[in-house]
Amino acid sequence: MDSKLYINPPLVKRAYDWRKGPQPKTRAALDRFFASPAIRTVKRQMCEIGRRIYSRGYTDGNGGNLSVRVGEDLVLCSPTLCCKGFMKEEDICLVDMKAGQLCGYRPRTSEVKVHIAMMQAAGWDACVHCHPPHCNAFLFAGQVPPSGINPEADIFFNQIPLAPYGTPGTDEVAANVAAMSKKSNVVFMENHGIVCGARDIEEAEWFCENADAYCQVLLLAAGHGAKLQQVGPQSVKDFLAIRKALGLPVDPKQPLYNTRRFNGYAMKRARGGR
C-alpha cells in the first residue's frame, strides 16, 4: 500500500474529565449532578467493572470496591455490603474528598478512604480494590513479585510496593497505601488485597488483571524446578522508558531490580537482550 493512505487515529478517551465538568455545591445542584446523563454513564461503567472483577474471582461475597473521581471535591464509589457482580447503577454513592456521603440511598464503602488517599497522593482519577488470588498468595506471605523478568509487568506496574497492614476502613491503612502509591499504580496491601489507581476505571481493572496474571505465572514457574531469569539492565531501562511515555510513574530513586532472588534461589540472567 502507498504510505499516503496510512492513518493515525487517536487513542480512545474513556475517562470522565472532572476538571471540565460541573462542580455542584448545593443540595439541588448535587442531586441534579448525581442523576445527570454523564454521571449515569460513569455509574454504568463502574457496574460493568464490578461484574468483571467478580467473574474473574477477584472478589467474593461483598468484597472489593471501586471509585471514580468526578469533581474537585467529588468521588463516586461502590456501597458497603454489596456484591460487585450484581451491583446496579442506583447502588452507587457520591462522597466528597473527606469521605463524607453526599448522595445515594445505600451507605458508602468504608474503604473509600483508601481510594481518596491514593487519588490525592498519586493523582489518579479511578481506583479498584480487590483480592486477586494469585496476588494474595504473595502478599499474604509479605512478598511482592520480582521485577525485571517480563516487559508487560515492568511497563504496566513496575515494582509493586507492599503497604504495611492496617485495619480496613481506617485512616491508618489509607495513609499506608497513599505512601506506597507514589511508587506504582498497583499497591499490595499486606495480608489484605491490592488497590490499583488509574486514569479511568477500566484501566484500573486492567492493572488488576495484569498483576494477577503475572503472579499466576510466577507461581506456576515456581513448580517446574528451573530457575527464573531476569533481563539485562539496559532492557529494564527500556521498559521504564516505555512506562514513562505511557504517562505511568517511575520512582527516580528505585533500583533497576527490586530483588535478585525468587523462591529461595538467585535468579539467572537471560541469554538475549542487554
Of the residues 72, 89, 90, 111, only one is catalytic, namely 111
CA pseudo-torsion sign 12, 39, 66, 71: positive
Distance, in Å, from the CA atom of 241 to the CA atom of 238, rounded to the nearest integer, reads 5
Answer yes or no: 111 catalytic: yes
Q: How far apart are the first and last CA of the chain?
A: 35
Catalytic annotation, residues = 111
